[in-house]
Structure formats: C-alpha cells, structure tokens
Amino acid sequence: MREHTALETPQVLNIGPRQFAWGARTYVMGIINVTPDSFSGDGLASDVEAAVAQGLRFVREGADLLDVGGESTRPGFEAVPVQDEVRRVVPVIERLVRECDVPISVDTYKAPVAEAALEAGGHLVNDIWGFRRDSAMASLAARFGVPAVLMHNQRGRRFRDVIGDIRAGFEASLALAEAAGIPRQRLILDPGFGFGWTEEQNLEMLRRLGELKALGCPLLVGTSRKSTIGAVLGLPVEERLLGTAATVAIAIAQGADIVRVHDVAAMVQVCRMTDAIVRRR
C-alpha cells in the first residue's frame, strides 16, 4: 500500500473557483449524466431541472467537482451527434456555473462539444480518449487555459500488460498536451477502469495503481457501479454501492487523488475515513 502523509508538500492546481492540493486529501467528482441510456440507470435525458437539482444536491453532500456528460460511454454505446450533445450539456453547465461554487467539468471527447461547454462557463475537460480521438481537443484546452483529465482508453487496443499499456497511453496523451503547450501540472490522468479491460485486468489495475504515480500527475479513478463490481459480487447495478466503496478505498490507498462517483454522500464518507488512515488526516 502506498502511504500518503499530511507532511508531504502538495502540488496545487486551480480549477475554476476552487484550489486542489494533491496529496492533502481525496477529492470527489459527482457524475451528472444528461443521457437517456446511462449504464448505471441514472441518466436524466434532457431534463435540465433534474440535472441541476442533482448537481446542487451533490454539492450539499460534499462533491468537490461536477462532471456533466451528454453521451453514454458504456460498452457498445452509440455516438450522439455533436449538436445533440451540445444541446444536452450546455444548459446544465450554464445553470450550475451560476448556482454553485464548485468547478464544472464536461465529459466529452469531441472538441466542438468541449468548446461550447467552456464558452458556457465550464472549467475542466474530461476526455475519455486522452486527446487521441479528436486532434483539436489539446489545442482547445490550451486556448482556453483549462485543466484536462486524460483517460487511457484500452478499447480496440492490443493488450500486453495492464500498467505498461496504461503508461504507454498516458505518454502518448501527455505528448499531445505538451505539443499543444499545456503545462503538465494542468493535467490529471485517469487509467480508464472499465474501458476495454477484462474483469481481472480491472482488478489488477487497482492493485497496481500506485505504479502510475511515477508519472508525476494526479490520478482520477472511476469505478462507480461498474460491471466488474457486479461480476465479482453477482449484483445488479443498483446494488453495487458497497462494492464501489471497497474499490474507492483501495484506489485511495494506491494513490488516487480524485474519485468519480454516482453516490456522492456515501463516497464522501468513504474518502474521509480512508484519508484518515492513509493520509493521516
């Protein structure tokens, strides 16, 4: 287990209205799916009022960031036209920026959607393809001067080694960011739990997560309600809260800085308890 202590000097990143001191504690990102077909069953379709209400509830429950997505990325998902994705996310982002004081992220790999979200006041880009699907994403993030989450997506890629494959994907994404002029300290890395991996590979990823800290970037991990938990426990998506809690605790112990979750109130408690152990808070 990689131990974190409050004595470490944290690296600091400003994201919108908040400051994040990596290593000081674990931060919680609440998921807002403005989609009709979320794998987790929490899709809000185009209901702006419901999405905003959920976001404000997450903030009251302790969320440090909100991640708004307008296209499901579950296995076998169907791509949404850009104009439809923009129509789903922009009204929600505009409202949340006005009504709460936490950073708002847009979950998209399409530059036109990201641009519309940032123009609407968004503070962070969360790209599940790590700048490798849309060549305009890196230059867009550089132009707006916003941080970005770069995920390694294993879908469609040849498997060699879990951590080796993730590291190679990260290095490719980091090179694109560097070429666009984005400072490394503005980047957050996500190993892509559930994106193209077998159940065994997902579990190995969590066991070996600490190896990725050598890249010098904060890590975001998103295990919430995913199928690996269901496979291990034999439970449907709506009954995976405790399994999610176990994966979140292990991820923190292995170096996660942000956890992306559906169940904010419960996972805030998991983070606080785990931080008390591994970060001595």
Give how far Cα 76 sits from Cα of 79, 123, 196, 222, 238, Å: 9, 29, 11, 18, 20
Over the range 130-156, which residues count as b (16 or more CB within 10 Å of their CB) and which as e? bbbebeebbbbbbebebbbbbbbbbee
Residue where the block lists tokens 């990725």: 212
Sole residue written with tokens 């109130």: 265
Contacts 24+ apart (CB under 8 A), 146-149: 146/118, 146/122, 146/186, 147/13, 147/15, 147/123, 147/186, 147/187, 147/188, 148/124, 148/177, 148/182, 148/186, 148/187, 148/188, 149/105, 149/124, 149/125, 149/187, 149/188, 149/189, 149/190, 149/220
Q: Which residues, listed in sequence order, are joined to residue 67 by a DSSP beta bridge?
A: 31, 105
Please provide the DSSP assignment of 184-224 as one string: GGGEEEE--TTSS--HHHHHHHHHTGGGGGGG-S-BEE--T
Residue 110: active-site member: no
Does an H or E element contain 151, and which?
Answer: strand 148-151
What angle (nearest 5°) sits at the alpha carbon of residue 14, between those of residues 49 and 178?
110
Among 260, 279, 280, 281, the one annotated catalytic: 260
Catalytic residue among 226, 272, 280, 281: 226
Alpha-carbon span 31 to 33, nearest angstrom: 6
- Which residues have a catalytic role annotated? 226, 260
